[in-house]
Chains A and B, each alone.
Chain A
Amino acid sequence: MSLIEIENLSVTFRAKGRQVRAVEGVSFKVSKGESFGLVGESGSGKSTILRAICGMAPITEGTIRIDGSVLPTPRGARFATRVQMVFQDPYASLHPRHTIDRTLSEPLAIHGLGGSDARVVRALEQVGLPAAFRFRYPHQLSGGQRQRVAIARALMLEPKIVLLDEPTSALDASVQAEVLNLLNRLRADLGLTFLMVSHDLAVIDHMCDRILVMQHGRKVEEMARDDLANARMTTAYARSLFDASADRMLGDPSGTAP
């Protein structure tokens, strides 16, 4: 059975008498332990799907099931213990006036869980940050360190599903590599299921088992990683994304390139 089942999902925003159909009739399933990628240009609705799962976008049609049961609205406390999200911009997603310790222990306090001291230290260790960092503020950390804190915060309630919204697009290449490695290690160690959004096909390819290409809020093509690597896409749009992908000029990955 699939862990996440999204069926015929539509999201429509209404503003000033205008309707914007951000997502239209998208369906896909993600199995337990899998890493699933959503890829497309800005405005393709990929991030809106993540927000819809979290109850932060107006769902007009379709259902979202987790573990076989339809998600309640509002999502409630139990949802937060199962699904967590890491956002794109670590400069904007951490409270600037809260110490790292407060950011990390807040979910525990909300859910009435004890032992926050030990858990905060363990969470920092998990994401490869020194324990002393808990007394710092976000502005005292680099972008990569902040994103590690955001990942630690998402893991505080020990969720099984992590939604990743462009987790490395604000980071330098070398820092991106470190964060991607960290995410892969955590997925293996903790048995996490990832649903990841990115505009970078190479990042999605590196991280995900299956990929859904989206355009203008609709599903274009779903493919396995092997199909992407061997350019076996069937739609012209998926091919154009593949052709425009910047990593393609680095030559054949199996060859002698750098």
Chain B
Amino acid sequence: MTLLDVQNLRVTFDTETGPVEAVRGVSFSLGRERLGIVGESGSGKTMTGRAVLRLIRPPGHILADRMVFDGQDLMGASEREMRALRGKRIGMIMQDPKYSLNPVMTVSDQLTEGLRRRDGLGRRDAEAKALAALNAVQIRDPARVMEAYPHELSGGMGQRVMIAMMLIPEPDLLIADEPTSALDVTVQAEVLSILDSLVRDRGMGLIFISHDLRLVARFCDRVVVMYKGRVVEELLASNLLAAQHPYTKGLLNCLPRIGGPRGPLPGLDRTGDWAQ
């Protein structure tokens, strides 16, 4: 079943020197699976994720032939309808907990704000739900974390708090924008297994945005590779190592490997037609 269908998505920013296209005709569809979007900085992967939630501010604007989430047309939806979707049905985990959590609110206040205002829960019920959410993302000593401010948490904890916050309304689709790039490898593995079990147990759809090809290969079902706002290749994650596109191959080859050759790492050849 298709949860999200995007056809020919374009994100354009009007600047003094003319329009700049950050996303240039991206199409993909997503079921209840893990879709990876990879690319370098500036490839438009984050803009693609934000465009699905229509979170692009002027002077940027979104065009698409079709952008449908669970039968609802996202392009034609009113701002009021979008607000009903955001958070509740489509969640988004931002890259950096340091900048995305409110620095002057305790974790408890941030986690319960939505529950109390949107769902009209009382303080006690909301706090119980928030505590359960922190437990679900495997935070040890959640009672202490509830009373903490973001700066009192480590990067890994902050990221888990953000995941917990996004999971409280039990969205059908989660857009995770580099959810683990600020984390250590061992914490990274924990956060990924939390996301993984949510996809499996709850049948959630996941868009996993990352610059790390290796991570996406291990974690996702399908991978979309982007370059300069375009999709250059879409393939099954298990076939990533057999990628045909020169850009995907180049990205894989330029990574050092334990026990690999020590000569100069191959650079990325950007002279092909695809790079225009």
Contact = CB atoms under 8 A, between A and B. Distances in A.
Given A199-B185, A249-B218, A184 B264 contact: yes
Interface string B247-265: 0011111111111111011
Nearest 5 interchain pairs by C-beta: A229-B259, A206-B256, A177-B265, A177-B254, A174-B268
Contacts of B211: 172-173
Contacts of A24: none
B189 interface: yes
Nearest to B262: A206
A181 B116 CA distance: 54
B243 interface: yes
Contact of A174 (B185, B215, B254): B254
B267 A178 contact: yes
A64 interface: no
Contacts of B243: 258
Contacts of A240: 186
Interface string B69-113: 000000000000000000000000000000000000000000000
A242 B258 contact: yes
B266 A245 contact: no
A174 B251 contact: yes
A73 interface: no
B146 to A, nearest CB: 22
A176 B214 CA distance: 15
A254 B261 CA distance: 8
Contacts of A140: none
Given A178-B267, A257-B241, A247 B185 contact: no
B140 to A, nearest CB: 16
A222 B212 CA distance: 28
Contact of A202 (B186, B213, B258, B267): B258
Nearest to A180: B265
Which of B154, B212, B254 counts the most chain A CB atoms within 10 A? B254
Nearest to B218: A249
A22 to B, nearest CB: 14
26 contacts: A41-B186, A42-B184, A172-B41, A173-B211, A173-B213, A174-B254, A174-B268, A175-B40, A177-B265, A205-B259, A206-B256, A206-B257, A206-B262, A207-B256, A247-B256, A247-B257, A250-B214, A250-B252, A251-B241, A253-B257, A253-B258, A253-B261, A258-B241, A258-B243, A258-B249, A258-B252
B217 interface: yes
Contacts of A176: 254-255
A249 B217 contact: yes
B95 to A, nearest CB: 13
Contacts of A254: 259
B155 interface: yes
